[in-house]
């Protein structure tokens, strides 16, 4: 195998290993949540993301509406948030989100 193919293979393996490690870094019972509204737009407030990683921390560096921003939530809550159901969602998590009041 020539050096360029060997180097390309090494980079591919490293990239896959890094991706797998990133996917597994959620604490037990928690999940990463890209919270969105009914139109698919991020509802995570500016500077409220939880995107810390092993290689550095971007926690709190997001812009409002950043499609790559995510927050850590208990498993099952992301689906509820993305359906607009905030019942049972902690105040700590709600404080990170744009929440529209329902018409009364």
pTM strictly above 0.95 = no
**Residue 84: phi, psi to the nearest 5?**
85, 10
- Closest to 34 in 3D by CA, of 70, 61, 9: 70
**Residue 20: phi, psi to the nearest 5?**
-65, -40
Model confidence pLDDT, tens digit, residues 71-96: 999 999 999 999 999 999 999 999 99
pLDDT band with cut points at 50, 70 and 90 for residue 45: very high
Q: Which residue ranges make up each domain of the chain?
A: 28-94
Helices and strands: H and E segment counts in the chain: 3, 2
């Amino acid at each position: 195998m020539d050096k360029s193919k060997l180097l390309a293979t090494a980079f591919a393996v490293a990239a896959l290993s890094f991706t797998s490690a990133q996917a597994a870094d959620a604490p037990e019972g928690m999940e990463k949540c890209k919270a969105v509204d009914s139109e698919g737009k991020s509802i995570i407030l500016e500077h409220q993301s939880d995107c810390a990683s092993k290689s550095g921390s971007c926690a709190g560096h997001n812009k409002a509406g950043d499609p790559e921003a995510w927050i850590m939530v208990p498993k099952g809550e992301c689906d509820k948030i993305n359906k607009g159901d905030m019942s049972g969602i902690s105040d700590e998590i709600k404080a990170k989100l744009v929440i529209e009041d329902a018409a009364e």
